[in-house]
Amino acid sequence: MSAMARDSLNAWFYRQMAAWAGLLRRGDLELEYWERVRTLRPRDTDVLAAIANRRAARGDKRGAIALLEHSVEIDPSKAHAWFNLGFLKQETGEHDAALRSFDRALALDAKFDRAWYGKALSLIESGRVDEALAALHKVVELQPMSPYGFYQLAHAYRRLGQTDQVAETIRKLSKFEPKVALQLQRETGVDAGVEDPFGSGRRKQGA
C-alpha cells in the first residue's frame, strides 16, 4: 500500500472514530481524533471547521478563531466559514472584525439569513442601530415565519423612538407568534393592541 493510500485510510478511520466519540459524548477523545485527521489533512477546511467547532464548544474561542482564520486563508470562498468566524468574533466582543466577516459571507451568499442577523446584532452592539434596520429587514424578508428578526427589529425601532413602527412590527409578529408578540409588547411598553388569546374579557388582537 502506498503512503498516500495509507494516509487516506487512516484519515477515514480517525473520522469514524471521531464520529463515534461524539455520539458517546467523549469530547476529549473526539477532539483528539479530529486532530489526528488534521495531521494527515492539514489544509482540509472541513476538518479545520470541525475542530474549531469543538474547541469553541469547550470554551476555547481564541483557538477556534485561529483555526477559522487559517481556514478562510486556505479557501476564502466558503460563506459558512466566514459566518462562523464572524459569530466567534461577535462572541468575543470584536464587532468591527465580526462585521467584516459577515460582509464577506454575504458577498458570497446574499441570502444567508444568519449572516444578516449576525450583522444586525453587531451593528446594534456598536451603537449603529439605524444601520441595523436594513439588515433586520433582510432577516424578516428571508425568514418571514421566524420570530428572531421581528423581535430585534421591534427593539431597534424602540431605541430609535419610532413607536408606530414598533407597534406595526409587533402586530405582524402576533399573526404567527402571539406569545413572543405579547412579550415584546411588555418589554417595549408599546401597546400594539395584542392581547393574550387565553385571557378573558379582553379585546382581540388588532382591535
- For the stretch 65-98, pLDDT in tens is 999 999 999 999 999 999 999 999 999 999 999 9
User: Which helix (H) or strand (E) covers residue 178, if one does?
Assistant: helix 178-188
Work out how many domains the chain is built from and give that number. 1
Burial degree of 196 (CB within 10 A; 0-12, 13-18, 19+): exposed
Give the cell for residue 3: 503512503
Per-residue pLDDT at 18: 83
Per-residue pLDDT at 9: 80
In terms of residue numbers, what domain contains 170? 144-196
In a domain, 93, yes or no: no
Residues of the chain with pLDDT under 50: 200-207
Percent of the chain topping pLDDT 90: 75
In a domain, 205, yes or no: no
In a domain, 121, yes or no: no
The pTM for the full model equals 0.86
In a domain, 119, yes or no: no
